[in-house]
Structure 1
């Protein structure tokens, strides 16, 4: 929009606009049928993309997504767009893979585009040209193999897979549909927060086990004494006052141990000796 205004171009509002999931968009502009989308959409309107195919393939190998433009059923041009990879993405993926996770990249972009991005991020398992329902089926396939699957995504197309995963992780910078389908939202879309979330989850589970241990120890010691099992040999009995004190101490121990989590700080940092290493890795992105 800004570039069009800079060039002094007259922008005409589109009529009969329609968004075609996984393909592109279409509408009428200045009484002409305009279609913008992928190759399959061009084929459906009879537009031959052969004249621009070699240029499109070159751009895909560079990591760009290519959309073709057709006017009245005839190819009019192509548009290439590319999302810059955040500086925090590779360190985050390396940390996840260092923890033994397998990273899968599932993208609606062409296979060549997805592979170019995958090479940059050190991802070996790359699936390109994946439709929204295909992403959900991929999640189900991984789960059927006995794997626990976390799915991270930010678009409407990711919503089915986010809902199907064991843990759906949405980006706060993405769509409302994606966030409503996920269990976890990363406010700033920083993938390192996934590492932090896993660390917090592990600490919470460990804390719960510790609290169960505290509760068990107090009862394992107090109940036999209160029942008089030690009285014949040692003359020990547990008075009601001491029993109440032990019960209070049990609650205090559990509560104090749980409060440690609120004061803990989890920091996601990349390993210097691993930061540039294309690590391998079961989460699905």
Structure 2
């Protein structure tokens, strides 16, 4: 009777059930055992930029035309091409063009060049829409606008370049807004000892501008979607346990590769399916709360296992020595299961108090 392993078998699942329940109340879905067990060992948190640190709803800030194009005609060809793209920047251009009553044109031979831009044919003319790297690779001369591009990027704006038949047609500067809680959460993550890193396909100037605003010291920019998982592997090879936070299709491989993948609930389905943790809201505070929940659940698991081994270990020895009567052995085993249940569900988790304590200390400073 004293060797019955019921309490030991309940130790881990009950702690995870308790943690999962607390997480659900806070709008967090913990989808795997790693979400509970591995988060405590994470040292680096990698953050995607668009849709994770920013609101993910970029807007056109300025349009600069070149050659015979005026603003409406430039927006028309850019939006006509971008309407076939699912990228947030492309959607921003389309939305802006429609507000200007642009008459979008039919597009032939549409093609997406991942991490660079899009291309297509409009009325027999090849239109390229993308970043400056894309234009340089295609032989488009943009030297005349390089200073303007640099100035926009130093403001944290992403510059979309448009070319017609490999001749520069103009620029569209697009900006996104940082989430209200982004800076505060980065500071709190740093207080907990995490190192934060921005991982983005955007250029270095834009990424560094965002990083400086948030107090993030490490930046990995101009990373193509297919290269993001490789960057995670490089960090893991250096001995880091890594958490990745993202929301887009491009982030899915990196979310899978990371020790802990965290998806923003408003993100794409494939990103959500690839993650260990899903934050239902778009707020970043769920990252820190997930950490507290995982840490607390792991602590509860250790306590439960210790309780179970204590009852079983001491009980078996005393039973073998004839000290414990069988009736008391049955009572002891019932008590061991009750102790595990009470420890898992009866005591209030320290998650909320720790989080509020840190947040209040932060505000007081």
Whole-Å Cα distance in 1 between the matches of residues 107 and 360 of structure 2?
51
Q: Pick one of 285, 307, 328 that aligns with 1:192.
A: 285
TM-score where L is the length of structure 1: 0.87
Go from structure 1 to structure 2 and tell me whether the alpha carbon gap of 1:272 and 1:115 turns closer, same or farther (over 3 Å shift).
farther
Distance in structure 2 (CA, Å) of the matches to 1:126 and 1:138: 11
| Match among 203, 224, 229 for residue 317 of structure 2 | 224
Q: Is 1:91–1:275's contact at 8 Å kept on the other side of the alignment?
A: no
1:251 aligns with 2:337: yes
The yes-or-no answer on 1:239 pairing with 2:328 is: no
1:76 aligns with 2:169: yes
Aligned residues: 270
In the TM superposition, what whole-angstrom CA distance separates every residue of 1:106-138 from its partner, at most 9, and x where no partner exists? 211110110000000001111221112332222
- SS of the aligned residue for 2:162 comes to strand
Q: Give the unaligned 5+ runs of structure 1.
A: 232-236, 278-285
Structure whose alpha-carbon radius of gyration is higher: 1
Structure scoring higher RCO (CA < 8 A, sep ≥ 6) equals 2
Distance 1:261 1:32, change over 3 A: farther
- Displacement, 1:276? 11
Contact 1:90 1:275 in 2 (8 A): no
The answer for unaligned runs of 5 or more in structure 2 is 1-93
- Which of the numbers 140, 151, 163 marks the counterpart of 2:233? 140
The structure with the greater share of residues assigned to helix is 2
Alignment match of 1:203 (pick from 283, 287, 296): 296
**Correspondence 1:1-285 to 2 at 5 A:** 1-228=94-321, 237-260=323-346, 266=352, 268-269=355-356, 271=359, 274=362
Q: TM-score, structure 2 length as denominator? A: 0.69
**SS where residue 352 of structure 2 aligns?**
coil
Mapped partners of 2:161, 2:95: distance in 1: 21
